[in-house]
Every structure is written in C-alpha cells, then in structure tokens.
C-alpha cells in the first residue's frame, strides 16, 4: 500500500466529503450571520466635570451612587479672572457602564475586553487658536468596583501620566464651532473581570513644564468604550468547543495511520501534524477560564496563537509546494533544512510582528494606558517591525509563487510524457494531477474568499439587509465563516493527506471505481516512497 | 429648534448617564431590553433622544389641522438636522491592532452647528399650502404641499411656514414685538442686521464713542483668560 487518501478515494466519496464540508462551511457562516450579534459594540460616555476641592487628592470621584460628585459647567468659569488653579482641580469622571432602562448595568465577563478612546470637543475661539498638533498630558486613574461593594469602595486598577498628541482641524472658523479632533486611544484592558469601572482624568496645567498650555477651550470630553459583545463571545467559544475535539480527533487518527506504516513519518506529515497542532492551540477554548480567573494577557495570547497558526499555515504551503517540486537529489530524507531560506521569510515576519506585539500589548499588561505609538522612537520602532514583517511577507509570496509556478511547469512537462505510458498508469497520474490541482484550487479559493470577504466587509459598513425580517450580521458572519473555513480546510487536509491503508480492496468501491484498485496494484512495487504518489511519480520521471 | 435641542440634550444626557431610562437599540430585536446588554450591546443615545423629542415636543400637536402638520414637519426637520450632523468615527482593534476588527460609533454634533444650519433653513423657508394625508397609524407619514403649485415640495430638512411673519419694524406689544427703534445696526451688511433692512428705511444715527474693551486675550485651559484693557474708538449706528 502507498499514497495518500486523496489519490485513492473514489470520486463519489470525495464529492460526498466535499459536500459535507461545504455544508459545514455554510452552517458556520449562517451561525455568525443569524445568531451572533456584531463582534463588538461602542458606547459614547460623556465625562462629568467634578471639582477636586483639595489639591490632587487620591480620592475617587464618581457620578452615581452615594457620595457622588456634582457636575460643573466649565463655561461658567470661562470669563472669570485668573482661574488657573481651576484647571488642576477639574476631574473628568467616567463611570462605566452607564445605566439603561432604569437598570444599573454591569460588565459581564463574557464581554472579554475593553478599549477606551478619548474624544475632545474643543470649541473655536479667535483668541485661542489651537495648533494642528498639540501634545496633551493626561493624568488618568482607572478604578474598579464589584457588585455588592459599597458605592465608594473603588479600588485602583491602574494609573498613569501619559502624553498623547491631539490633531485638530477646523474648516469653519466660527466661535463655538468644534474643532475636528482626532481620537485619542487611551487604554486597552485584556480582561473585563470586574463589574464596574471608573475613570478619573485630569489635564494638569504646569507652566514650568509647559504642560497642557496649548490646549484650547475644551468643552466636553467623551470616552468611547469598546467591548466585545457577550453574544459574540458565546457563539465564538461554542464554535471553538465544537471544532476542538474534531481537530484533535482527526490528528490522532492521522498520526495513528502514519505510525502504522513501516517507514518513519515524512516531512509533509510532520508539517501537517504541526499545522493541526497550531490549529488546536487556536481552537482551545481558553475563554472559559476568563469567566473564573482574571487573565489580562488574553489579548496577547490571542495574537500569539493566531501568529503561530499563520506561520504554520504559511510554512505548510511552502513545504507542500516544495515536496511536489521534485528537484532534490536526496528525495527520501527531506528535511526542513532544505527550506531554511524560504522559512526564514516566515520566521522573520512572524518574529518581528511578535516583537511589535510584545512592545505594545506586552507592556500594556503592566500599564494599560501605554501605547508604543505616542513617542517618536516608539513609532519608528513599531514601523520598523511592521515594515520588516511586510517585506518578509512580500519575499514569502515571491518564493511561494515561484515554487507553485515550478510545480505547474513540472506537471505540464510530465504531462507531455503521459501519452507514452500505459493507459492505466496514465489515467492514474492524470487523476493525481487533477486532485493536486483541485487542492491548490481549494487553497486559492479559501484565501481569495477570506480576502474578498474582508474587503466586502470594509466597503459595505453596517448591516446587510436582504429582507425586512432577515437580517444578516455580516461582520460576525465573516469572522465565523472564515474561522470555520480554515478549520474545515485543515480538517480536509489531515483527512485527505493521511496515508492510505488500501491493503485490501473495498467491496463497495469495486463496481464504481474498479480502475482505482487496479492502479494500486499496478504501482511499481520497487518505489519505496510513500509521501505522495505525485512526488514519487515526478521523481521517477526525473530519474528516467 | 426646540425639537433639535431636546433631541440633542437627551442624547447627551444618555451618554452622561444622568438619565437612567435611556433605551437600547430596538431596531435590531424589539423588546429584548436589558438582557441585550450582555448579548449584543445596548447603546442608542440618539435614537432615544429622537423618540423622546417626538413624544415630548410633539405632544401638543394632536390635531389634524394644517398648522399642526406644519409644526410636526418643522419639529421633524429639527431632529433631522441633529441626525444629519452626526459623524461616524471608527477604531481598529484586530490582531496586533490591525483593522481586521473595526468598531464604529456616531459622534454627537455641536448644537451651535445644528442651530446655524436651522437658521439657514429658516431664511430659506417655504410657504406650505396644504397637506397630503398619510396613513392614520403613522402621524409622521404625510407630505406637505407648497403654497405655489410650481414650487418644489418641502424636503425632510426644510422648514415651512403657513403665514408670513408680522411686521417687526414697529412696536406691537400684543404680539410681543419690540420694534427696531434704538437697535444697533451694521451699516456695511446687506443682511437683516444691516442698517437698511433693520431700520425699515427710517434711517439711522451715527455716533463715535470711546470704549474700554478687553483685547489681546490669551486663554488657558480650563478657565483662565488673560486680557489687556484697550481704549478703542468705535462707530456705532443706531436705528431711529
């Protein structure tokens, strides 16, 4: 016995399998579109201006509950003489989440993460024009409270003195018109473990350090909080929970099959199991743990898991194309070493993205207000890593397209020799080439669908309506669809590229596909390679 | 203007958390309420402001006469102006901060911009002649006809009137009109603040005054204004 399942599977069985997988794919898409809500939602929260009567007291200011502070209209103080110290006393208070429908809402742990963005309403005044770029200093304190705690029992979560740049433009220079200011990313929390959060922000003025001197007439400060939707997390985690055992199962099945062979596993099989492992890592529903433990590193972990998966997928494609290229002399003991040049492109790309991520989200574990983009050095560093990753992506795709082009060239070269072969063998090889191309097509289709889906999602913002009653949540459908697609793709790879066990002819198959059985026994028994008969076929031809 | 201001103020208060009864976005799934918060989010500031304004400001306009229809139309126009000045902003927060995941929200406009837009529409308001009836169940589903049949019917953001304004030139205490006697005017303007229009052709008096004014002000966040006091010669025109 030899070859992989994809070559020995009858056309009917293959089509049944493909149909089943397509059905699963459609199901994934529909689950996202019909059941899941949008992946995340944003809330505009208007800051309440409280006055710190002391000087920079450590106490917390909050707007709801017993002992809340009173709102102060900033404009009341606008025309009074020298109110300099006032600036240092104003505290912008954001108590999130805000109540709805007379219910005090609290964050659920299903909501996973929280991103805070600031928006400034700066009114135009001819006496006080703002530069197009102003550096502002923000003194931010984030606290939390849980259900059952007293109203004033806010506990510190993080605090920092951060500088951010504010880009403001105005078209219509009229008094009291707002500048169009850029949004200011403030914080990112990787876990939403507590029920209520409280953000106290001050914009301290210090004429010696030139702190916040250039700030215009700030009228409102808005905090936009973005959190993942609990419903989306639930759908996503259930999807993972379903995929996880399937992929683990097929991996075990695959590995058992490989071990039943007399030879040691081939490189392609190692790559497949590595790919399966990376996907299993991605599928592992660690989100369940966040319901019980505070895990602020989930964002970083998610990035790393995705990074490992992408690098595994990209390396697999390289090795897959390379193993079918049939140019190596030593064709029995292929090693990863052969591909070091190609794989280093993947490695460098992933490594630079990893370093960038560690610099951004890694440091955010210590200080959620941190951002690498605010300083010039940080921006340059981040850009360096991103450009490096971009270059290695370009190099990778050059390598890959070159290899695929080489494979197709080889195939067409071999095809011209085909008519000279015996009819049975020719039929077989044609089938093999067809199925190899079929899988290539599937890969391309998956990649294209991901890209097209992504672009469609960017172009057509908002909801897609086909019917008044049927509303498809396109963004969620895209995410679950793509996630399901790559799971199904890898499931199919593990399934179809497992070594075939056709030691005995299967009865049911014999009527419809009697040729395929003949093929198996008509193979050259002297050819010991079991990697893939396409590769062996090509090598054999090369030896001739 | 009232309807626009109510919409704006309520939406603002919802964001601040000072109104606790603000609703969720009901368009997605009606009647699911607060349970939605965990599942799919609950944010609908402007929508609530819109509905609140309809219920509050339009409460008096129950009848079916043309005047009430006009009021409804103008109130709707005010709300439409708030909605149309909303600006969308987005933030990317996908893998490593890339744009694979993007969330967008609407930014509430400055009420000053809304009121200026409404003033523009006020200046260009058209006279309504009659209302086409709409279905009974939706009181906002009607279309006003222009007074002059060859004019375009008023759009959703246009303001309309039924009667021309009374003469504001002369004092008329019963209508609450103060008249324009003694008002300051601008002799270079051709608009309603110009001396020709404002003084209704009665002419104006010109004086030269020396006034002490704040000038060369510098402003610091949050509340500090430093100004010099300057003596300037000013020419003032007053309607006779």
Report the pLDDT averaged over residues B167-175: 77
How many whole angstroms separate alpha carbon A322 and alpha carbon A404?
8
How many whole angstroms separate alpha carbon A112 and alpha carbon A234?
11
What pLDDT was estimated at residue B198? 78
Report the pLDDT averaged over residues A207-222: 82
What pLDDT was estimated at residue A459? 66
Supply angle C-alpha B193, B197, B200, rounded to 5: 130
- Cβ contact A80:B224 at 8 Å: no
Distance from CA of A394 to the nearest CA of B (A): 18
- Cβ contact A42:A246 at 8 Å: no
How many whole angstroms separate alpha carbon A272 and alpha carbon A251?
9
Report the pLDDT averaged over residues A505-518: 39
**What are the tens digits of pLDDT across the range A294-347?**
888 988 998 899 999 989 988 888 888 877 765 444 454 567 777 888 888 888
CA distances from B109 to A225, B5, B78, B117 (A): 19, 11, 13, 12
The most distant pair of C-alpha atoms in chain B lies apart, rounded to whole Å, by: 72
List, in order, residues 6 or more apart from A16 with CB less than 8 Å away.
Answer: none
For B112, the closest of A45, A71, A176 (CB atoms) is A176
Q: Is the model more confident about B130 or about A498? A: A498
Distance from CA of A432 to the nearest CA of B (A): 37
- Whose structure tokens read 């595994």? A312
How many whole angstroms separate alpha carbon B176 and alpha carbon B173?
5
ipTM of the complex: 0.80
The most distant pair of C-alpha atoms in chain A lies apart, rounded to whole Å, by: 102
**What are the tens digits of pLDDT across the range A33-89?**
888 888 888 888 888 888 887 776 788 888 888 888 877 776 665 545 445 567 778
What pLDDT was estimated at residue A483? 92
Q: Is the model more confident about A72 or about A95? A: A95
Residues of A in Cβ contact (< 8 Å) with B108 = 44
- Cβ contact B207:B238 at 8 Å: yes
Supply angle C-alpha B84, B90, B93, rounded to 5: 160
How many whole angstroms separate alpha carbon A183 and alpha carbon B93?
14
Residues of A in Cβ contact (< 8 Å) with B109 = 178
Q: Per-residue confidence at B136, pLDDT binned at 50, 70, 90?
A: low
Name the token pair of A289.
Answer: 């743990």
**What are the tens digits of pLDDT across the range A457-499?**
766 654 444 444 556 778 888 889 999 999 999 998 888 888 8
Helices (H), ranges, A4-112: 5-8, 11-30, 84-89
For B37, the closest of A86, A100, A471 (CB atoms) is A100
Please give the share of chain A, as a percent, with pLDDT higher than 70. 83
Q: Which residue on chain A is closest to B38 by alpha carbon?
A: A230
Residue A261 has phi, psi (to 5 degrees) of -75, 160
- Whose structure tokens read 């029992």? A153
pLDDT at A180 over 70: yes
**What are the tens digits of pLDDT across the range B69-89?**
788 888 888 888 888 888 888
**What are the tens digits of pLDDT across the range A424-464?**
777 767 766 776 777 788 888 888 888 887 777 766 654 44
How many whole angstroms separate alpha carbon A530 and alpha carbon A117?
57
- Cβ contact A251:A276 at 8 Å: yes
How many whole angstroms separate alpha carbon A88 and alpha carbon B87?
31
pLDDT at B23 over 50: yes
Question: Which candidate, A122, A118, A119, A216, places its Cα nearest to that of A177?
Answer: A122
Residues of B in Cβ contact (< 8 Å) with A90 = 222
Q: Which residue on chain B is closest to A75 by alpha carbon?
A: B223
φ/ψ region of A387 (left if φ > 0, alpha if ψ in -120 to 50, else beta) reads alpha
Report the pLDDT averaged over residues A88-111: 85
Quote the mean pLDDT of chain A: 80
CA distances from A418 to A170, A275, A409, A422 (A): 71, 34, 14, 8
What pLDDT was estimated at residue B138? 63
Residues of B in Cβ contact (< 8 Å) with A40 = 41, 93, 101, 103
Residue A334 has phi, psi (to 5 degrees) of -75, 135
Buried b (16+ CB within 10 A) or exposed e, B48-80: bbbbbbbeebbeebeeeeeebbbbbbbbbbbbb
Q: Per-residue confidence at A196, pLDDT binned at 50, 70, 90?
A: very high
Is B34's CB within 8 Å of A42's CB? no
List, in order, residues 6 or more apart from A299 with CB less than 8 Å away.
Answer: A113, A188, A190, A361, A364
């Amino acid at each position: 016995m030899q070859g992989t399942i994809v070559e020995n599977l009858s056309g009917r069985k293959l089509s049944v399998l493909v149909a089943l997988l397509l059905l699963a794919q459609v199901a994934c898409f529909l689950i996202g579109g019909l059941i899941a809500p949008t992946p995340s939602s944003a809330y505009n929260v208007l800051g309440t201006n409280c006055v710190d009567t002391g000087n920079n007291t450590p106490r917390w200011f909050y707007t709801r509950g017993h002992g809340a502070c009173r709102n102060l209209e900033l404009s009341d103080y606008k025309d009074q003489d020298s109110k300099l110290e006032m600036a240092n006393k104003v505290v912008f208070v954001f108590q999130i989440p805000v109540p709805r429908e007379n219910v005090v809402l609290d964050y659920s742990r299903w909501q996973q993460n929280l991103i805070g963005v600031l928006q400034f309403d700066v009114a135009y005044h001819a006496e006080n024009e703002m530069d197009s770029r102003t550096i502002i200093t923000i003194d931010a304190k984030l606290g939390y409270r849980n259900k059952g705690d007293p109203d004033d029992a806010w506990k510190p979560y993080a605090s920092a003195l951060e500088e951010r740049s504010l880009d403001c433009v105005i078209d219509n220079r009229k008094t009291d018109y707002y500048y169009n200011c850029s949004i200011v990313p403030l914080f990112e929390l990787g876990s939403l473990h507590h029920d209520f959060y409280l953000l106290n922000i001050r914009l301290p003025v210090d004429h010696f350090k030139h702190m916040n001197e250039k700030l215009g007439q700030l009228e409102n400060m808005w905090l936009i909080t973005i959190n993942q939707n609990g419903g989306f997390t639930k759908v996503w985690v259930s999807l993972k929970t379903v995929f996880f055992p399937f992929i683990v199962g097929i991996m075990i099945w695959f590995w058992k099959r490989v071990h039943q062979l007399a030879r040691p596993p081939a490189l392609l099989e190692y790559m497949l199991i590595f790919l399966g492992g990376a996907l299993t890592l991605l599928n592992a529903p660690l989100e369940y743990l966040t319901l019980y433990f505070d895990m602020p590193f989930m964002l970083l972990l998610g990035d790393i898991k995705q990074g490992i998966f992408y690098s595994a997928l990209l390396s697999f494609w390289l090795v897959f194309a390379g193993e079918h290229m049939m140019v190596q002399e030593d064709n029995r003991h292929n090693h990863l070493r052969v591909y070091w040049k190609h794989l280093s492109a993947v490695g460098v790309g992933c490594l630079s993205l990893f370093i960038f991520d560690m610099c951004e989200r890694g440091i955010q574990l210590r200080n959620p207000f941190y951002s690498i983009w605010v300083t010039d050095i940080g921006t340059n560093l981040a850009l360096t890593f991103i450009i490096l990753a971009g270059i290695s992506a370009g190099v990778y795709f050059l390598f890959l397209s070159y290899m695929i082009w080489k494979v197709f060239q080889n195939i067409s070269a071999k095809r011209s020799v085909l008519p000279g072969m015996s009819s049975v063998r020719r039929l077989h090889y044609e089938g093999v080439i067809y199925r190899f191309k079929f899988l290539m097509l599937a890969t391309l289709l998956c990649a294209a669908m991901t890209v097209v889906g992504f672009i469609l999602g960017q172009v057509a913002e908002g909801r897609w309506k086909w019917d008044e009653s049927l509303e498809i949540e396109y963004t969620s459908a895209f995410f679950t669809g793509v996630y399901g697609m790559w799971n199904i793709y890898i499931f199919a790879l593990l399934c179809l590229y497992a070594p075939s066990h056709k030691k005995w002819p299967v009865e049911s198959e014999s009527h419809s596909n009697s040729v395929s059985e003949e093929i198996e026994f008509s193979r050259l028994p002297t050819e010991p390679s079991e990697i893939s008969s396409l590769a062996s076929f090509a090598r054999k031809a090369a030896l001739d | 203007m009232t309807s626009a201001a109510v919409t704006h103020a309520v939406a603002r208060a919802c964001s601040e958390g000072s109104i606790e009864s603000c609703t969720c976005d009901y368009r997605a799934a009606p009647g699911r309420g607060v349970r939605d918060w965990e599942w799919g989010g609950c944010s609908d500031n402007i929508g609530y402001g819109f509905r609140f304004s309809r219920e509050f400001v339009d409460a008096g306009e129950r009848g079916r006469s043309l005047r009430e229809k006009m009021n409804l139309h103008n109130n709707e126009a005010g709300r439409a102006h708030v909605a149309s000045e909303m600006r969308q902003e987005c933030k990317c927060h996908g893998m490593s901060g890339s744009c694979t995941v993007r969330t967008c929200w609407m930014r509430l406009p400055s009420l000053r911009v809304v009121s200026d837009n409404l003033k523009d529409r006020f200046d260009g308001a058209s006279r309504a002649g009659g209302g086409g009836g709409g279905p009974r169940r939706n009181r906002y589903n009607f279309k006003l006809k222009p007074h002059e049949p060859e004019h375009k019917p008023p759009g959703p953001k246009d303001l309309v009137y039924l009667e021309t304004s009374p003469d504001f030139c002369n004092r008329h205490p019963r209508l609450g009109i103060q008249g324009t006697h003694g008002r300051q005017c601008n002799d270079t303007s051709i608009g309603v603040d110009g001396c020709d229009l404002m003084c209704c052709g009665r002419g104006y008096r010109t004086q030269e005054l020396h006034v002490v004014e704040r000038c060369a002000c510098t402003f610091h966040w949050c509340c500090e204004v430093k100004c010099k006091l300057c003596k300037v010669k000013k020419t003032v025109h007053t309607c006779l």
